[in-house]
Amino acid sequence: MFKIFIVVYLFMVGEELVASEVVATVNGIDITQKELNEFVVAQLPGANFSLLTYQQQQNVINKLIDSKLFLEDAKRIHIDKSPAFIEALKKEKEKLMLDFWMKKRVEEIAISDREAKIYYKNNQKKFNRPASVKVRHILLTTQEEARAIIRELEASRNLKKKFIELAKSNSTGPSAVNGGELDWFIKEQMVPEFSEAAFALNVGEITHYPVKTQFGYHVIYLEKKHHAGSIPFKSVKSDIIKVLRSLKFKVKLEKLSKKMKKTAKISVK
pLDDT of residue 19: 57
User: In which domain, by residue range, is 65 found?
Assistant: 1-82
Hey, CA dihedral for 118, 122, 123, 128, is it positive or negative? Answer: positive
In a domain, 260, yes or no: no
Which of 50, 82, 114 finishes a domain? 82
pLDDT (mean) for 16-26: 71
User: Total domain count for the chain?
Assistant: 2
78 and 151 together in one domain: no
In a domain, 4, yes or no: yes
Residue pLDDT, tens place only, 100-157: 999 999 999 999 999 999 999 999 989 988 999 999 999 999 999 999 999 999 999 9
In a domain, 92, yes or no: no
For 3, 14, 144, 162, 189, the CA distances from 184, given in Å and listed in that order, are: 14, 7, 28, 21, 10
For position 46, which CATH number holds?
1.10.8.1040
Q: Cα-flanking dihedrals φ and ψ of residue 221, to 5°?
A: -120, 125
Q: Which residue has the higher pLDDT, 217 or 22?
A: 217
Mean pLDDT (the chain, rounded)? 88
pLDDT (mean) for 54-65: 88
Distance between CA 252 and CA 258 in Å, rounded? 10
In a domain, 93, yes or no: no
pLDDT of residue 191: 93
In a domain, 242, yes or no: no
pLDDT of residue 14: 38
In a domain, 241, yes or no: no
pTM over cut 0.75? no
Residue 193 banded pLDDT, cuts 50, 70, 90: very high
In a domain, 110, yes or no: no
